[in-house]
Structure 1
Amino acid sequence: MHIGDLNWKRINPDIFGSMIQAVADDEERGALGMHYTSVPNILKVLNPLFLDDLRAQLEAAGDNKAKLLNLRKRIAAIRVFDPACGSGNFLVIAYIKLREIEAEIIRRRKDDDKKTWIKLTNFYGIEIKSFPAEIARLALLIAEFQCNVRFIGQIEARLDVLPLHDTGRIVNGNALRLDWLEVCPPPKSGEAIEHDLAGPIGKLALENEAEAETFICGNPPYLGSQWRNSSQQADMDLVFSKETKSYKDLDYVAAWYLKAAHYCERGDSEFALVATKTICQGIQVAMLWPLIFARALSISFCTSTVHMGNLAKAKTLALLASLLGVRRTSKKQAHLYEKRPIKSRNEHRAVFN
């Protein structure tokens, strides 16, 4: 292997998901429902979930230093959690895009200290396979180095590389059998995110910890009921059996939706997951969505059909998916991916047609 000779400044984070898919055989990918997401499709989730709102706040702030500082504080406190993270593509792209917005804030404020306030420990994931979990941790470190080279300079970036520090909090395990509140605990007032209080955001984190937002995103396994093995059926039983008796025909991905809904009951959180179109059609609608809406949650955005693809050489199925965002019920408008406003709750029906 000659990885030491590679120019890591130019490594595309999207390559990691494709690499994992390329080395996994067809049978393993099918059994696990493994599907890796290209950067354009990742952004179809992340943009409406939180990046569009941050960019709108940046636009509204203009050159007002106080407003820009408030936005920078908000960004520094954001946590991103992917409960089916694979090799970390969603987390990496989220990190890079947050760094880009932060860099623009620094430019407008003309701050002398260009070091980031965004910590890798604000990025959480769960991955069932150990090798992709390790790749996810490494990918976040590489993304941080690349952003440092880009925004603070190559010399400064190299000085920050060693000693190696904490990376994303990626847990190796079955997301449907783990307590997500333990993997990514809700923020508590007075509990610092940044453990090194001498670091650039130590005091800031202590002041704003209770205001941290958590965004759940990802591309969970899609398996239909007829393709699940006994272990995966046991996962479904664990997630749904205390909620309803009508879940046997739900797609496997529906379990991630219900787990995310449980999580969002406990704090300032929203989620958006790639899903099979079938959970928004036919009998699955009545099985899943009343369980979500009963938790004072509603749809924040949705898309039309998305063709899922990536850079892997391995032969893959042509998948048709839907992207759905869910948040606490509020007076904010919900949108179709094309940004057409949904005027009332009754129009949620349009999502399922």
Structure 2
Amino acid sequence: MRTATDPASGSGNFLSETYVSIRRLENEAISARFGGQMTIGDVWNPIQVSIRQFHGIEINDFAVTVAKTALWIAESQMMQETENILYDKHLEFLPLKTKANIVEANALRIDWNEVIPAEKLDYIMGNPPFVGARLMDASQKEDVNNIY
């Protein structure tokens, strides 16, 4: 299972769009293998990509909530697309069972291993929200000094 993190996740756009893109590829594979076929027997879920594989760090508490919500919405939309491929299956989504792994913290100060251990991490993505030195407040300048 591959995992990814966005250390400045903001509202979760990079995470949710990456999740949607990967799930669409997965849905293409599911369609090629199972589309149009009925399955009989136990409840079966072919989905292997989960929002549990996506982690974020965000300093703003409101943005953390928005990012988690964005991932849950993306998950719901992708599950609906999968159900449309597997027309005879209803995939359980509610109550929310998956954990959206967005941590409220300053990514320049937290040990990222507290979010996800480095040996379990496959990708780091995102665009850090850095501003020029003249536009930084005192705490942002202190953050920069701490990393150097």
Q: TM-score range by the shorter chain?
A: 0.7 to 0.9
Report the 3-state secondary structure (helix = DSSP H, G, I; strand = E; otherwise coil) of the residue aligned with 1:156. Answer: coil
Identity %: 38
1:114–1:151 CA contact under 8 A, matched in 2: no
> Following TM superposition, by how much is the alpha carbon of 1:107 offset from its aligned partner in structure 2, in angstroms?
2.2
* 2-structure distance, mates of 1:117, 1:102: 8
Task: List runs of 5+ in structure 1 lacking aligned partners.
Answer: 1-76, 189-212, 241-353
Quote the offset at 1:234 in angstroms.
0.8
Secondary structure (helix, strand or coil) at the match of 2:90 reads helix
CA distance in 1, matches of 2:28, 2:67: 26
Shift of 1:123: 0.6
Aligned residue for 2:108? 176
Q: Which amino acid aligns with 1:145?
A: S
Aligned-partner Cα distance in 2 for 1:140–1:172: 16
Shift in alpha-carbon separation, 1:137–1:86, aligned structure 2, 3 A: same
User: 1:82-97 counterparts in 2 under 5 A?
Assistant: 82-97=6-21
Show the counterpart of 1:150. Answer: 81
**Could you tell me which residue of structure 2 aligns to residue 237 of structure 1?**
145
Cα distance in 1 for residues equivalent to 2:12 and 2:129: 15
Matched, 1:121 2:52: yes
Q: Which one has a bigger Cα radius of gyration?
A: 1
Do the aligned partners of 1:80 and 1:94 also contact (CA within 8 Å) in 2?
Answer: no
Q: What is the distance in 2 between the residues matched to 1:115 and 1:89?
A: 25
Equivalent AA in structure 2 for residue 156 of structure 1: H
Counterpart of 1:152 in 2: which secondary structure?
A: helix
Aligned residues: 138
Q: Partner letter of residue 236 of structure 1?
A: V
Is 1:106–2:30 an aligned residue pair?
yes
**Cα distance in 2 for residues equivalent to 1:146 and 1:106:** 16
Letter paired with 1:227: L
The Cα of 1:86 is off from its aligned counterpart by 0.7
TM-score norm. by structure 2 comes to 0.83
Runs of 4+ in 1 over 2 A off after TM superposition: 107-115
Structure 1 residues 29-68: Cα deviation after superposition (integer angstroms, max 9, x where no partner): xxxxxxxxxxxxxxxxxxxxxxxxxxxxxxxxxxxxxxxx
C-alpha separation between the residues in 2 aligned to 1:147 and 1:185? 27
> Per the alignment, in what secondary structure is the counterpart of residue 118 of structure 2?
coil
SS of 1:181's equivalent in the other structure is: helix
Tell me if the contact between 1:83 and 1:125 (Cα under 8 Å) persists in the aligned partners. Answer: yes
Amino acid corresponding to residue 143 of structure 1 in structure 2: A
Structure 2 unaligned runs (5+)? none
Q: Secondary structure at the match of 2:5?
A: strand
Distance in 2, matches of 1:236 and 1:106, equals 46
TM-score, with normalisation over the residues of structure 1?
A: 0.37
Q: Residue 234 and residue 136 in structure 1: after superposition, are their counterparts in 2 closer, same or farther (change >3 A)?
A: same
Q: Secondary structure at the match of 1:148?
A: helix
Q: CA deviation at 1:187?
A: 3.8
The structure-2 alpha-carbon separation of the partners of 1:222 and 1:187, relative to structure 1 and needing over 3 Å to count, comes to closer
Residue 127 of structure 2 corresponds to 219
Deviation at 1:116, TM superposition (A): 0.9
Which has the higher relative contact order, 1 or 2, with Cα contacts under 8 A spaced 6 or more apart?
2
List aligned pairs for 1:192-271, cutoff 5 A: 214-240=122-148
C-alpha deviation, 1:214, in angstroms: 1.5
Aligned pairs for 1:241-320 (under 5 A) are none
Q: What is the deviation of 1:148?
A: 0.8
